[in-house]
Amino acid sequence: MPVPFVGLTGGMGAGKSTALAALRRLGAVTLSTDEVVHELYRTDEVRDLVVERWGADVAPGGVVDRQVVARHAFAAPEERQWLEQLLWPRVGQRVIDFRAEADAADPPPRAAIVETPLLFEAGMDAAYDATIAVIAPESLRQERAAARGHAAVDERAARQLSQEDKAERATYAVVNDGSVEELERKLAGVLDDLVPATSGS
């Protein structure tokens, strides 16, 4: 039986990474598309292409600086489009491979979960059996984002749907406004719902 394939999303500072780690502890296999992008930037192929496009300042010492890349990419719609066309097919292939690995695993994991910040915005939700949106009160999100050095929350969030929209579109909306243990309990309930315990028939 195929392993449940689930997309995880949420706004900046909502706690997607914390949720992903909790789901891993609960027996799911997980993939962060953000991590995949980090890996892609470390490849010679992608590094050379962004340097060719925007100049050597995007990769000082041969290492891609994502903040400099973001400055170039957000400067104009066609620049962002170029970057998305470079990265998204490669990320997509990694997700396909991840799903195949999960389905082939023995014993099977409880679910295969992919964290995708722009899940609904990029129209990728249709690829999943179910989706989870992690949401949190605005004040908490601002606090967490600031603690991670994301000052420009509003500009970065402008490309994203509101939390309410994400929650409405998702199969499950999980509010992350307490401890990690509380979040884990809520996510355990989601996994139980996705993978109902089989009766001994």
What integer pLDDT is reported at residue 142 of this predicted model? 76
> No. of H helices and E strands in the chain?
9, 5
What integer pLDDT is reported at residue 44 of this predicted model? 95
What integer pLDDT is reported at residue 121 of this predicted model? 85
The Cα–Cα gap between 168 and 53 comes to 38
What integer pLDDT is reported at residue 201 of this predicted model? 31
What integer pLDDT is reported at residue 155 of this predicted model? 42
- Could you give the domains of the chain? 5-194 (3.40.50.300)
What integer pLDDT is reported at residue 143 of this predicted model? 77
Consecutive 10-residue averages of pLDDT for the chain (201 residues): 92 89 97 95 96 95 92 91 93 95 95 92 90 88 70 55 89 93 96 66 31
Within 8 A by CB and 6+ apart from 41, the residues are 47, 50, 64, 66, 69
Reference 132, options 1, 2, 26, 37; nearest CA is 26
What integer pLDDT is reported at residue 158 of this predicted model? 59
Q: Evaluate whether 39 touches 132 at the Cβ level (below 8 Å).
A: no
What's this model's pTM, rounded to 2 decimal places?
0.85
The Cα–Cα gap between 91 and 76 comes to 22
